[in-house]
Amino acid sequence: MSKRLTSIDIARLAGVSQTTVSRVLQDLPSVKPETKARVLKVIQDQEYSPSAAARQMKTRRSGTVAVVVASLSNPLYPLLLQLMVERLASRGFRTTVWEVDGKMDDATVRALAESATDGVIFAAALDESREMLSRVAAEKPIILINRSVGADLFDTIVSDNHAGGRRVAEYFLSSGRTCIGLISATSSRGSKASTIRERERGFIEGLGDLVQSRNFVRADATDFGYEYGMRAMQTLLAERPDLDAVFCTNDIVAIGVLDAARRTGKKVPDDLWVVGYDDIPMARWDCISLSTVQQPLPAMVEQVVDRLERRMVAPDLPPHTFVLPNDLVLRRTTS
């Protein structure tokens, strides 16, 4: 046939009704095995593929999921996005990507709520976005990954950022570090994501009484970038040239810290230890070899997609927060 086959054509060739063809395509149990086999053989022989529009009309599904990420200039997000696209594709979903840095505006919320997507995965949520997230959730299933918004309103999958920060502090203390620094940052809109707050809190709690002494110093960069990390480190070293360990709440800041230390003559790790967070691909490069806290991104992504599929089927499922363990990966910036 020169024209595109329809389900009516498949039904005629298989000697069944169009309804039977539809049931076979949806893998419903109400079709006799021999009939199903006959229909499937015709579908295979004719290389038939139902159109996306037809599927959407029948199933009320588009087969598309929106993924909202923060600035793609942070290598964590391209990596996270790649994993999500691959995992969603393995479940039969296409991905649309939305880049949002900070709080969403009304136009973005309306576009997401009205988009022809089956669900939304947010990797860029902030506390002040809670109301707007609720507006999207009123229209379609949403899942939060890597960040929470301080309320049990949405399914959330995160790694244990508090434990990760605390583990770095305990590592420094047990290794005899005596003058310890913390370099963190806010977003470009002046807010701190839940991940950063939890890493800071865990690290400070892990240091214990040292935090109250002059042997603890900190600097807050105005953004999460290489240049900001470099400037913050220059500030700390001017204040405490005897600094011998620094924890950075993300890897990009830590790489800026490494270069600032080297420019001032500090040898890493002989004079100064540096630990980052996230384990972005650059951290593993031999020329950087950054010690860092590694988030279990593949496991987080798998759980996100599983939960989203469950919520599509059961919209009234009670929201739940899943917290996955992470690992401290030691490389050449510490020992």
Amino acid letter for position 277: Y
pTM over 0.85, yes/no: no
> What average pLDDT score do residues 321-330 get?
96
Which residue, 273, 303, 278, 315, is CA-closest to 293?
A: 278
Residue 93, helix vs strand vs coil: coil
Domains for the chain: give ranges and CATH numbers.
7-59 (1.10.260.40), 64-159+296-324 (3.40.50.2300), 161-295 (3.40.50.2300)
Residue pair 200/182 in contact (Cβ under 8 Å)? The answer is: yes
Those residues with Cβ within 8 angstroms of residue 21's Cβ, 6 or more apart along the chain or in another chain: 7, 10, 11, 14, 39
| pLDDT at 25 exceeding the cut of 80 | no
Per-residue pLDDT reduced to its tens digit, 203-235: 999 999 999 999 999 998 777 789 999 999 999
275 in Cβ contact with 168 (< 8 Å): yes
What integer is the mean pLDDT of 76-102? 89
- Integer angstrom CA distances of residue 92 from 86, 112, 119: 10, 20, 13
Instruction: List the structure tokens of 319.
Output: 């929201």
| Residue 191 pLDDT class (50, 70, 90 cuts) | low
Q: With 0-12 CB in 10 A as exposed, 13-18 as middle and 19+ as buried, what is 156? A: buried
What would the mean pLDDT of 57-74 be, rounded to a whole number? 75
